[in-house]
């Protein structure tokens, strides 16, 4: 009896534990599978308000999102965000948009909003990642095909998470209006508020009406009828879960036989005597009894181990989309941190240029301001993403436990990304403080040029108190004298410029004369030589004339003629 009781206890212990764990695996695995299937059947309802329908120039100004199950019950309400757009775009809207958006107060809200399109995409993407698995849930709405065009262009990551198909209530409406005109007359009418969240609620109510009144379902049917659409029951896709169980059964059966053999060895090692024959030195062969009990166990619990093995797979399926979403968020934040560090380094280089450059200061200031603005925007975006990641980590701890893989991964990554973000912001703070010191150095340099020695403590007081007149009072008289001297110098400088212009004009005239004289130099030399020769010939001619006069006076014929001429007269 000792051997029988020990063997039965061993077999009951093994079988009992397997039955107990197998039933728990059925419950937990079934719940996990049901949760995964229900999340895959959800619908993502989205409605947009735009400045128009032109995909090339119009923009999104409001967006809302709701999550429903397959029975159109609202499960979660997402963000309802108003997106900032420039006033020029709002002024260029059509008259219809100006009238209705102005009447609903949306235009004013857009002007007062500070949310960018990228921020809105991140908020909605984080929401749908928490509520739906990737690539399974369709986009739903009224005339949602028009919204899908804008979402594909301006929010591609959001659309990538959803299924490529859509559920358009306007299509159902048009079909019911043609096929069931009598029932269509009782369909709920839209209030035409032209606000995103109100339009989604009206679309859900309208589809609920069509489901309850048009898509009728017979309640007396116990089984669903398969509508023939080119397929029959033989060609239908088999249940994947049953196929997996069939594939695992040979392996599980082998494990059972191994367990039985181990129990037999335990019985043999115990040295239990065969009580039926009364021989204390012999053992009883109970292998046939154990095999019979194992057959009974297989008939009573045929799939217990299979369900136990599928438990882990079901849980992985439930959390797989959460991990995938978490990894994408981690990668996005890492990329943003790298870009933030690059912007901080660029800002440091610009600050060095501001100190060393003497020109183009306005251009350097503009570049520095734009970089600082980009750092501020990116830092706020990273902070929001880290906050959302922290909320996701807390939700994972509450849902899956503190020691679950999702919770531990999210906690570790959140800590690492937060430290990286803090390091980047610390370097940004150091760069700004260095720029502050550079500004102090530049102020000291300018005051030294004006002949005023100022200490760093005085400049600090000026920064803290904002009293710039501390220096202007002491330098006011010097500034007036310097300004008067500067005016006198400027007037003298203008006179010198005018004198220089006049001298330049005279210099050009003299230069032209010099060129002309140089060209006529040979001619003038010949003229001078001829004049000198003429003077010499003139002197000789005068001497000859004098001689001629003397000879004339001494001529005797002239005397006779002088006497005769009066007589003849």
Quickly tell me which residue has 């709405």 as its tokens.
141
Closest CA to 371 of 359, 379, 381: 379
Distance CA 525, CA 232 (A): 130
Q: Residue for token digits 């019985």?
A: 267
Contact 283, 268 (CB under 8 A): yes
**And the tokens for 516?**
């002309």
Kindly compute the dihedral angle of the four CA atoms of residues 403, 404, 406, 410, in this order, to the nearest 10 degrees.
0
- What secondary structure letter does DSSP report for 188? P
Please, what's the b/e burial string for 485-518 (b: 16 or more CB within 10 A of its CB; e: otherwise)?
eeeeeeeeeeeeeeeeeeeeeeeeeeeeeeeeee
DSSP letters for 218-269: -TT-SSPPPPPSS--TTTSPPPHHHHHHHHHHHHHHHHHHHHHHHHHHHHHH
Q: Half-sphere exposure of 185 toward its Cβ, with a 13 Å CA cutoff?
A: 2
**Kindly report the CA angle at 496 between 492 and 502, in degrees rounded to 5?**
145
Q: Nearest-5° angle of CA 529, CA 534, CA 537?
A: 130
Assigned token pair, 389: 């990641």
CA–CA separation, 351 and 357 (whole Å)? 10
Length of the chain: 569
Q: Is 161 a catalytic residue?
A: no
Q: Where in 440-548 does DSSP place strands (E)?
A: none
| Helix, strand, coil fractions of the chain, as percent rounded to 5 | 75, 5, 20
DSSP 284-343: ---HHHHHHHHHHHHHHSTTHHHHHHHHHHHHHHHHHHHHHHHHHHHHHHHHHHHHHHHH
Neighbours of 484 (CB within 10 A): 10
> Which residue do the tokens 């509450």 mark?
398
Rounded distance between C-alpha atoms, residue 185 and residue 263, angstroms: 74
376 within 8 A of 116, measured Cβ to Cβ:
no
First to last CA, the chain: 216
Is residue 339 within 8 A of residue 378, CB to CB? The reply is: yes
Token pair for residue 480? Answer: 């007036």
- Give me 218's structure tokens: 């017979």
What is the rounded distance in angstroms from the CA atom of residue 565 to the CA atom of residue 559? 10
**Number of helical H runs and strand E runs in the chain:** 19, 7
Exposed/middle/buried for 519, CB within 10 Å: 0-12, 13-18, 19+?
exposed
What the block records as the tokens of 346 is 């660029």
Q: Which of 100, 101, 194, 263 is catalytic?
A: 194
Which of the residues are catalytic? 194
């Amino acid at each position: 009896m000792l051997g029988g009781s020990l063997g039965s206890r061993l077999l009951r212990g093994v079988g009992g534990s397997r039955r107990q764990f197998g039933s728990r695996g059925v419950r937990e695995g079934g719940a996990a599978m049901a949760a995964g299937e229900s999340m895959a059947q959800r619908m993502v309802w989205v409605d947009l308000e735009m400045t128009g329908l032109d995909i090339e120039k119009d923009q999104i100004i409001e967006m809302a999102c709701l999550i429903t199950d397959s029975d159109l019950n609202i499960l979660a309400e997402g963000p309802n965000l108003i997106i900032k757009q420039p006033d020029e775009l709002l002024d260029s809207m059509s008259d219809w948009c100006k009238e209705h958006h102005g009447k609903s107060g949306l235009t004013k809200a857009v002007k007062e909003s500070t949310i960018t399109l990228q921020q809105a995409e991140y908020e909605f993407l984080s929401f749908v990642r928490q509520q739906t698995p990737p690539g399974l849930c369709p986009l739903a709405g009224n005339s949602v095909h028009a919204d899908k065009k804008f979402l594909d262009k301006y929010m591609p990551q959001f659309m990538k998470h959803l299924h490529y198909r859509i559920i358009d209530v306007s299509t159902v409406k048009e079909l019911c209006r043609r096929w069931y005109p009598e029932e269509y007359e009782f369909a709920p009418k839209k209030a035409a508020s032209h606000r995103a969240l109100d339009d989604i609620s009206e679309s859900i109510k309208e589809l609920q009406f069509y489901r309850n009144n048009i898509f009728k379902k017979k309640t007396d049917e116990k089984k669903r009828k398969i509508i023939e659409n080119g397929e029959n029951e033989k060609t239908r896709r088999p249940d994947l879960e049953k196929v997996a169980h069939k594939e695992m059964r040979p392996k599980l059966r082998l494990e059972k036989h191994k367990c039985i053999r181990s129990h037999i060895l335990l019985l043999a090692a115990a040295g239990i005597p065969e009580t039926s024959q009364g021989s204390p030195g012999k053992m009883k062969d109970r292998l046939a009894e154990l095999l019979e009990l194992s057959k009974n166990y297989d008939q009573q619990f045929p799939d217990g181990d299979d369900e136990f093995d599928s438990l882990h797979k079901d849980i992985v399926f439930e959390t797989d989309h959460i991990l995938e979403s978490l990894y994408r968020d981690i990668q996005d934040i890492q990329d943003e941190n790298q870009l933030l560090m690059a912007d901080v380094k660029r800002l440091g280089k610009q600050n060095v240029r501001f100190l060393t450059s003497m020109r183009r200061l306005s251009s350097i200031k503009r570049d520095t301001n734009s970089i600082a603005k980009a750092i501020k925007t990116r830092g706020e975006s990273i902070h929001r993403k880290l906050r959302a990641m922290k909320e996701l980590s807390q939700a994972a701890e509450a849902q899956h436990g503190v020691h679950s893989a999702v919770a531990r991964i999210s906690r570790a990554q959140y800590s690492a990304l937060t430290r990286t973000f803090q390091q980047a912001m610390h370097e940004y703070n150091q760069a700004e403080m260095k720029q502050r010191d550079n500004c102090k150095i530049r102020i000291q340099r300018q005051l030294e040029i004006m002949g005023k020695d100022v200490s760093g403590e005085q400049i600090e007081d000026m920064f803290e108190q904002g009293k710039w007149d501390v220096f202007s009072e002491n330098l006011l008289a010097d500034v007036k004298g310097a300004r008067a001297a500067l005016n006198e110098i400027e007037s003298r400088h203008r006179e010198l410029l005018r004198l220089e212009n006049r001298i330049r004009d005279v210099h050009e005239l003299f230069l032209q004369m010099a060129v002309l004289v140089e060209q006529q130099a040979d001619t003038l030399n010949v003229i001078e030589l001829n004049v000198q020769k003429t003077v010499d010939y003139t002197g000789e001619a005068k001497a000859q004339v004098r001689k001629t006069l003397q000879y004339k006076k001494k001529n005797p014929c002239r005397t006779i003629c002088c006497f005769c001429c009066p007589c003849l007269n």
